[in-house]
């Protein structure tokens, strides 16, 4: 308080009113005309000529004085002039000036001299925002104090000079920050905290500058910790903070433990202060030249051995297994709890001995330890027998017969039976690589398979099969005529390696190869190996050359047979023996983790793997690698023998006529996850795989190819076409102008779509030429790899300058619009149009001043002025015409200069041209109905795989048609009279002829264009009679004025009806115009029913292209979550293409539907359509063949799905093709997973009841119940089918035999719940089909069961 009052007194004396003072401006606010000044002497005298006033001019190294504006635990903020401020972190304060807590040493307002460390600009988040800066400051002003800016490159260089095992000198590590320990959520325990320490570069390298940051975990401070210290993170942090102080230097040496994570990624170097570990490293260096075995602190690359002593620390304790001991560079071993692992304290430094080691798997060896107190603890005191045995036995000596003690996949532990070995302390074993098979019939590798249908199923690892050398051996058996191949003494125990692959009396040269170190294997030497595993995706096979030596044979070095390579599990059996040649061996002495590269092909042909680089014209085998980045995508990347890479352009995958859409799959393209809302539950997982398929070229597939060129870019150009394998290698012929060609999409962006027609010919399509309709998202509609067809507009050959650095020789401009592709040679051009010509056209746009009409079979459009739309005045054109209406037009004016035509639609121009309207409309309507007959809807709550779905829907629609026909008989006759009486105005009323609709299904599929009377319309009968009488009067009088008056009266009534329908909401129930449909769709765009109604309306107008356009609009408008609704529209489009399209368009539509829906559901719908065609064709062989091919393709494509097989069964049996159905059934059992066999056989038996032989069905059900006797669901289905076919006595017998099986058969024991359901089912059957006696028999049987159960 006294200090503050003194300060106030000084300030009052110093800053009296009217007294002059020197100040310096800090900030200026021009708007408020205010400024902030300072009178601090330090700020007045420093940086007078070069103050810091903006961020942009700052450069690292500038020294300036500012004042502290903020102080926190994390650091301080220093402000200069014009609100320019920077930051000094607490970590930098501790490193540079030893400040432990900034809030204690600094106060707001203090002046401080700083140095600019860095100034980084940050971009604004939006266009209107200003850029910001981050200014980092330092207090290291003098050159001796200067802290260099540690870039990542400098940090990496310094870390590389700190390998694990490096000792850090005393007082070179400065503590800059302490990070507290963290609790593990949901579990007991915690993650130890750590200290961040800074080591100056001069302590690491004399020439380096800067510093490196390292981590000192709290568990690396002491050799051992008290139990109280490690009980909680708070206690652990408190102990560490007593020892470590921020800003202080560590007065003892440190040891670098690790610089990379367990996965090999670079991390901040980890430091340890444990004295025992540091002394162990120092002792290793001091005893480096001595031959005595020393205590090791190993790394993963250390050559470890059995009996070695290692020093480490306990990093984790698991009560299930034991203690995990960590060494340098994250090498970890385990002390099992049986060896005292649970007696070790957490974070304690321990001395252990290696009792087991496995160097054959992974980069780091697997080590088993035993804790010891000193190095001499476990040495044996008696090893006389060992010494005498070593003197007696040498490699190559006969060891006689041996007895098998233990046996596993890798080795057989045996005991020596010779008298000279009695009393000797020795362990003998016969390794699998040293063993000879006792089975003379054992097949050699690769195994020859008679049938190509054998499934390439994965094999069980470490299982002794008939191909294994140990096949036929068992514990206690005798192995004869063994020889010693190696002998070693470890920890006083003699280990002898044996072999029985040598004949008695053979010389030492005949011994199988046994190497104690993989580095002794020379390149080119022949070795005999045992197959231990077959790599996934047919990458190759793993083999064991000899104990401790592992080899790998890549697939391209295995065989020259594609069938063998693509079915390795079938042809290479685990445990089989193969002869190989060493191709590559990078192992150094003592390194057992290196894998030796081998080749089987090189054994038979020394030049098989000698190709340095594939050359033009070579025919080679390659392996598909979908993980390699594509060069000039889309392309298929492959691997050759020797590590060479090949590229197959997407245009070279297949012959030109065999190109398929998305041959490389849809990886990376957004697709619907699933459309299997009602499908099989057990197929859901497989459906997800279907949605992410890689096409026909899966990763790991082996194919035969022809090298087209060998470029210097690191890869070779190849082709998979069959014509290339033995034919020419020339490029494809260029396309012709105006010709129709196929191409693959390369890329799509905002400018257009880029295509590729061959390796050297590319094309482009501007956005407006992609489609006739609007594309909201061209990128997703035209993904890379999509196959498109278009018409060539222009061809441009590239000159030398344009081809520089490119492989493209010409570019092609194309047009993909359907209207351009379907245009014929007789298309009406502008020059063909003459005044007075009459045409048909389609309304494209309606304006207040007239209607725009496009001529049929032409791209020419013209304007029908308001005055030319009708003989009478029309107030509102939109009430009479809609886009898409078909109209007749007369050319009345042609403007040659501006290429415009004037048209007229007055009915008076076409009085003599109305004779063909009715027949045309009727034929169109019938075609439309036939085309849309196969459409069905998917209810999201129903099962879309219901086998009776289509038949139920057909019966439902038929009943609706009958009701519609009977209810509309009167109105139909009236409307026909109206049509005959209004010939002159038929073109004006053409848009009002609509199909009768039904809201339950979508529309009436079987009627024509008759007018449907609206229920509840009171004026319908009177209007019909009035119209009929007026028509009769018109026919009698024959006056045009009377006809026009009648037509006008009808039109007014129709308008009144429409207004009434719009008012009461019934217009949406029965839409009759395009506007009605547009309004209906706008109200519910996700309703497939509305879209399909609209398609049927377009077809009724003979506008097939318009119907296709409606479907495309539906795909874009319906939300992606509504998979069932989209599938309905796709089904409608498939039905349309099946009726009106070509086989090519139908196939393309199937491919597109499969890309956007569940492919299985699409193929099921298509097969159901074709099945209906077979029924209606009355034996047409072409239609039957087409359906058969589609069913076969579906079963081949979805061979693991039971629903497709069941659909095929039903199709064959319904058409009385029983033998083919039985053959197909046997194929399905081979293809389907085993857990689907029961349900599939049950379905097949049910179909046999319906369409085949009941006797065969009974045979199948009997076999199912024999193997699955407790499956009551199968029994109940069996019973239901018998009852349905009138065989009640057979069904009754099934219940009786189930409860009381005949003699010789075991009685089935059911649970009480099962018995209850069985009796209920039996009683229900008797209640519906039996008599009183049969029902009483069920009750008696049930009572007897209850009584017998209660006694037990």
Q: Of 504, 428, 439, whose CA–CA distance to 467 is shortest?
A: 439
- Contact at 8 Å (CB) between 1170 and 1192? no
Q: How many CB atoms lie within 10 A of CB 832?
A: 12
Each residue's pLDDT tens digit, 1263-1285 = 888 888 878 888 888 888 888 88
Residue 1025 pLDDT class (50, 70, 90 cuts): very low
Per-residue pLDDT tens for 921-975? 444 344 434 434 444 434 433 333 333 434 443 444 444 444 444 444 343 333 3
CA-based nearest residue to 891, from 859, 912, 863: 863
In the numeric block, the tokens 């304006």 are attached to 847
What residues are paired with 484 via a beta bridge?
498
Averaged pLDDT, 174-187:
83
Lowest-confidence region among 213-222, 278-287, 894-903, 1170-1179: 278-287
Residue pLDDT, tens place only, 420-467: 777 666 788 888 888 887 766 666 777 765 544 444 556 776 678 888
Report the distance separating Cα 539 and Cα 572, nearest Å: 13
- The string of pLDDT tens digits covering residues 1161-1208 is 999 999 998 988 888 887 788 888 888 999 898 998 888 888 988 998
Q: Are 308 and 357 in contact (CB under 8 A)?
A: no
Confidence of residue 639 (pLDDT cuts 50, 70, 90): very high
Rounded to an integer, what distance in angstroms lies between the CA atom of residue 909 and that of residue 1209? 61
Asked if the model's pLDDT at residue 320 lies above 80, the reply is yes
Helix ranges, 1038-1140 (H):
1040-1064, 1074-1083, 1088-1100, 1104-1117, 1123-1140
Give the pLDDT mean for 656-673.
Answer: 68
Task: Say what the pLDDT of residue 611 is.
Answer: 54
Helix pair 1312-1329, 1272-1284: axis angle to 10 deg: 0
Residue with tokens 């489009």: 1133
Q: Is there a contact between 860 and 901 (Cβ–Cβ < 8 Å)?
A: yes
Residue 1348: pLDDT over 90: no
Average pLDDT over residues 405-421: 84
Mean pLDDT over 1323-1345 rounds to: 86
Kindly state the average pLDDT of the residues 1039-1049: 66
Instruction: Give the integer Cα–Cα distance in Å for 948 and 942.
Output: 12
Task: List Cα–Cα distances, 1079 to 268, 1011, 1014, in angstroms.
Answer: 65, 21, 19
Mean pLDDT taken over the chain: 78
> Dihedral angle at the C-alpha atoms of 921, 926, 931, 936, nearest 10 degrees?
110
Spatial separation of the C-alpha atoms in residues 200 and 209, rounded to whole Å: 8
Per-residue pLDDT at 1059? 63
Is residue 1024 pLDDT above 70, yes or no?
no
pLDDT of residue 648: 93
Separation of CA 112 from chain center: 58
Q: How confident is the model at residue 69 (pLDDT cuts 50, 70, 90)?
A: very high
**Tokens 């604004």 -> residue:** 124
Q: Is the pLDDT of residue 586 over 90?
A: no
- Paired strand residues for 489: 494
Judge whether 102 and 76 are in contact, CB under 8 Å: yes
The DSSP line for 395-432 is: TT-EEEEEEEEEE-SSEEEEEE-SGGGTT--EEEEEEG
Residue 669 has pLDDT above 50, yes or no: no
Q: 159 and 212 in contact (C-beta within 8 Å)?
A: yes
Per the DSSP assignment, residues forming a β-bridge with 554 are 540
Which two tokens mark 1085?
């765009």
| Residue among 988, 1011, 976 nearest 885 (CA) | 988
Question: Quick check: 912 pLDDT over 80?
Answer: no
Residues 230-263 have pLDDT tens digits of 888 888 888 888 888 888 888 889 999 988 877 6
Pairing of strands 715-719, 645-649: parallel
Compute the chain's Rg from CA coordinates.
45
Decide: helix, strand or coil at residue 384.
helix
800 pLDDT higher than 70: no
3-state secondary structure of 1245: helix
Collapse the DSSP code of 826 into the 3-class scheme (helix H, G, I; strand E, B; otherwise coil) and give the result. coil
Taking only the tens place, the pLDDT of each residue in 1007-1019 is: 333 333 333 344 4
Query: How many other C-beta atoms can be found within 10 angstroms of the C-beta atom of residue 149?
Result: 14
Q: pLDDT for 1205-1238, tens place per residue?
A: 899 888 888 888 888 888 888 888 888 888 888 8
> CA–CA separation, 785 vs 624, rounded Å?
17
Which is it for strands 850-855 and 266-272: parallel, antiparallel or unpaired?
Answer: unpaired
Residue 992 is predicted with a pLDDT of 34
Lowest model confidence (mean pLDDT) among 194-203, 381-390, 543-552, 1315-1324: 381-390
Q: Give tens-digit pLDDT for 833-863.
A: 999 999 988 888 899 899 999 888 787 899 9
Q: What percent of the chain has pLDDT over 70?
A: 77
Per-residue confidence (pLDDT) for residue 774, from 0 to 100: 74
| 462 exposure class (CB count in 10 Å sphere: 0-12, 13-18, 19+) | exposed
CA–CA separation, 139 and 216 (whole Å)? 25
Are 171 and 241 contacting, i.e. CB atoms less than 8 angstroms apart? no
Confidence of residue 984 (pLDDT cuts 50, 70, 90): very low
Question: Strands 900-904 and 861-865, how do they pair?
Answer: parallel
Please give the full DSSP string across 132-169, using - where no structure is assigned.
Answer: EEEEEEES--STTT------HHHHHHHHHT--TTPEEP
Cis peptide bond N-terminal to 634, omega within 30: yes
Q: Is the dihedral of CA 364, 367, 373, 376 positive or negative?
A: negative
Q: Which of 140, 139, 254 is closest to 195 using CA atoms? A: 254
The pLDDT confidence band at residue 376, using thresholds 50, 70 and 90, is low
Contact 716, 753 (CB under 8 A): no
> What is the DSSP-derived secondary structure letter of residue 363?
S
């Amino acid at each position: 308080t006294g200090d503050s009052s003194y300060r106030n007194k000084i300030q009052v004396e110093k800053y009296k009113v009217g007294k002059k003072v020197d100040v310096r401006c800090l900030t200026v606010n021009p708007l408020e005309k205010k400024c902030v000044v300072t009178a601090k002497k330090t700020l007045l005298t420093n940086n007078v000529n070069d103050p810091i006033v903006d961020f942009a001019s700052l450069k690292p190294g500038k020294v300036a004085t500012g004042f502290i504006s903020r102080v926190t635990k994390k650091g301080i903020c220093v402000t200069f002039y014009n609100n320019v401020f920077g930051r000094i972190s607490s970590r930098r304060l501790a490193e540079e000036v030893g400040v432990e807590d900034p809030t204690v040493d600094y106060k707001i307002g203090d002046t401080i001299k700083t140095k600019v460390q860095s100034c980084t600009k940050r971009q604004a988040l939006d266009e209107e925002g200003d850029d910001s800066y981050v200014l980092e400051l330092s207090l290291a002003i003098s050159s001796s104090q200067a802290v260099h800016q540690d870039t990542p490159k400098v940090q990496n260089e310094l870390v590389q000079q700190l390998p694990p095992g490096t000792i850090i000198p005393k007082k070179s590590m400065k503590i800059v920050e302490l990070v507290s320990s963290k609790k593990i959520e949901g579990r007991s325990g915690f993650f130890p905290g750590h200290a961040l320490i800074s080591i100056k570069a001069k302590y690491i390298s004399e020439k380096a500058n800067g510093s490196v940051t390292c981590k000192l975990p709290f568990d690396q401070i002491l050799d051992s910790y008290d139990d109280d210290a490690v009980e909680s993170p708070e206690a652990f942090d408190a102990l560490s903070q007593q020892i470590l102080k921020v800003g202080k230097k560590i007065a003892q040496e440190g040891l670098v433990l690790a610089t990379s994570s367990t996965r090999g990624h670079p991390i901040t170097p980890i430091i340890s202060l444990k004295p025992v570990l540091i002394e162990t490293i120092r002792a290793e260096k001091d005893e480096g030249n001595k031959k005595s075995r020393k205590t090791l602190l190993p790394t993963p690359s250390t050559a470890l051995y059995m009996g070695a002593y290692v020093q480490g620390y306990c990093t984790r304790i698991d009560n299930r297994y034991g203690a995990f001991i960590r060494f340098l560079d994250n090498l970890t071993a385990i002390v099992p709890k049986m060896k005292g692992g649970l007696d070790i304290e957490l974070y304690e430094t321990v001395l252990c001995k290696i009792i087991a080691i496995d160097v054959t798997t992974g980069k780091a060896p697997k080590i088993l330890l035993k804790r010891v107190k000193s190095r001499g603890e476990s040495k044996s005191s008696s090893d006389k027998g060992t010494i005498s045995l070593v003197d007696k036995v040498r490699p190559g000596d006969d060891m006689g017969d041996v007895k098998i003690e233990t046996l596993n996949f890798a080795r057989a532990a045996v005991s020596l039976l010779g008298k000279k070995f009695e009393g000797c302390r020795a362990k003998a074993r016969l390794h699998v690589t040293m063993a000879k098979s006792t089975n003379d019939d054992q097949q050699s590798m690769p195994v020859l398979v008679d049938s190509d249908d054998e499934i390439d199923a994965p094999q069980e690892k470490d299982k002794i099969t008939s191909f294994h050398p140990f096949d036929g051996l068992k514990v206690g058996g005798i192995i004869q005529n063994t020889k010693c191949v190696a002998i070693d003494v470890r920890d006083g125990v003699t280990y002898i390696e044996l072999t029985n692959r040598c004949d008695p009396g053979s010389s030492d040269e005949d011994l199988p190869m046994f190497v104690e170190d993989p580095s002794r294997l020379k390149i080119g030497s022949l070795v005999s190996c045992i197959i231990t595993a077959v790599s996934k995706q047919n990458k190759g096979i793993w083999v064991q050359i000899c104990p401790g030596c592992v080899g790998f044979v890549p697939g391209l070095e295995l065989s020259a047979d594609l069938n063998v390579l693509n079915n390795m599990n079938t042809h290479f059996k685990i445990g089989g023996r193969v002869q190989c040649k060493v191709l590559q061996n990078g192992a150094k002495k003592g390194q057992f983790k290196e894998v030796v590269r081998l080749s089987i092909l090189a054994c038979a042909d020394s030049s098989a793997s000698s190709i340095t680089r594939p050359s033009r014209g070579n025919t080679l085998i390659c392996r598909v690698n979908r993980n390699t980045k594509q060069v000039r995508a889309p392309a298929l990347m492959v691997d050759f023998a020797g590590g060479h890479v090949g590229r197959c352009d997407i245009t070279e995958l297949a012959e030109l006529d065999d190109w398929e859409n998305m041959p490389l799959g849809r990886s990376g393209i957004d697709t619907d996850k699933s459309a299997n809302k009602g499908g099989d539950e057990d197929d859901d997982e497989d459906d997800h795989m279907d949605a992410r398929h890689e096409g026909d070229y899966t990763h790991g597939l082996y194919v035969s190819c022809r090298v087209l060129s060998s470029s210097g870019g690191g890869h070779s150009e190849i082709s998979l076409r069959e014509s290339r394998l033995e034919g020419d290698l020339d490029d494809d012929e260029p396309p012709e102008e105006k010709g129709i060609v196929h191409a693959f999409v390369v890329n799509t962006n905002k400018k257009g779509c880029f295509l590729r027609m061959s390796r050297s010919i590319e094309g482009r399509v501007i956005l407006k030429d992609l489609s006739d309709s609007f594309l909201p998202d061209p990128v997703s509609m035209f993904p890379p790899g999509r196959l498109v067809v278009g018409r060539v507009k222009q061809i441009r050959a590239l000159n030398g300058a344009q081809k520089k650095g490119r492989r493209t020789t010409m570019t092609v401009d194309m047009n993909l619009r359907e209207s351009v592709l379907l245009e014929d040679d007789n298309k009406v051009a502008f020059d063909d149009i003459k005044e007075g010509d009459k045409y048909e056209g389609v309304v494209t746009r309606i304006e207040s001043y007239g209607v725009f009409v496009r001529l049929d079979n032409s791209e020419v459009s013209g304007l029908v002025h308001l005055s030319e739309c009708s003989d009478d005045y029309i107030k509102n054109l939109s009430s009479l015409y809609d886009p898409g209406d078909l109209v007749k037009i007369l050319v009345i004016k042609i403007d040659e200069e501006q290429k415009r035509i004037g048209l007229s639609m007055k009915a008076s121009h076409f009085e003599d041209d109305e004779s063909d309207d009715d027949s045309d409309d009727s034929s169109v309507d019938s075609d439309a109905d036939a085309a849309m007959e196969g459409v069905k809807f998917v209810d999201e709550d129903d099962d879309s795989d219901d086998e009776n779905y289509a038949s139920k829907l057909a019966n439902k629609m038929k009943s609706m048609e009958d009701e519609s026909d009977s209810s509309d008989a009167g109105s139909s006759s009236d409307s026909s009279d109206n049509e005959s009486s209004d010939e002159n105005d038929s073109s004006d009323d053409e848009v009002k002829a609509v199909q009768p609709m039904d809201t339950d299904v979508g529309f009436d599929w079987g009627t024509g264009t008759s007018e449907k009377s609206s229920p509840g319309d009171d004026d319908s009968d009177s209007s019909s009679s009035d119209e009929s009488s007026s028509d009769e009067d018109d026919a009698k009088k024959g006056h045009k004025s009377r006809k026009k008056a009648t037509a006008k009266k009808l039109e007014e009534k129709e308008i009144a009806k429409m207004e009434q329908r719009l008012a009461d909401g019934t217009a949406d129930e029965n839409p009759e115009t395009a506007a009605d449909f547009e309004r209906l769709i706008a109200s519910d765009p996700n309703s497939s029913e509305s879209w399909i109604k609209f398609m049927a309306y377009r077809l009724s107008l003979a506008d097939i292209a318009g119907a296709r356009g409606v479907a495309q609009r539906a795909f874009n408008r319906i939300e992606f979550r509504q998979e069932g609704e989209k599938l309905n529209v796709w089904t409608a489009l498939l039905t349309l293409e099946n009726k009106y399209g070509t086989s090519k368009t139908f196939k393309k539509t199937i491919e597109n539907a499969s890309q956007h829906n569940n492919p299985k559901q699409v193929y099921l719908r298509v097969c159901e359509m074709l099945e209906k065609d077979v029924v209606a064709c009355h034996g047409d062989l072409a239609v039957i063949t087409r359906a058969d091919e589609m069913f076969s393709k579906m079963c081949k494509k979805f061979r693991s799905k039971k629903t497709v097989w069941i659909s095929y069964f039903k199709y064959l049996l319904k058409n009385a093709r029983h033998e083919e159905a039985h053959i197909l059934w046997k194929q399905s059992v081979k293809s389907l997973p085993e857990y689907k066999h029961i349900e599939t056989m049950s379905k097949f038996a049910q179909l046999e009841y319906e369409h085949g032989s009941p006797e065969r069905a009974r045979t199948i059900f009997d076999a199912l119940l024999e193997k699955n006797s407790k499956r009551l669901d199968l029994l109940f289905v069996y019973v239901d089918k018998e009852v349905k076919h009138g065989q009640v006595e057979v069904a009754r017998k099934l219940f009786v035999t189930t409860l009381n099986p005949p003699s010789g058969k075991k009685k089935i024991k059911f649970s009480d719940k099962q018995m209850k359901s069985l009796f209920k089912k039996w009683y229900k059957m008797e209640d519906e089909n039996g008599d009183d006696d049969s029902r009483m028999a069920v009750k008696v049987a049930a009572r007897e069961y209850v009584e017998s159960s209660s006694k037990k």
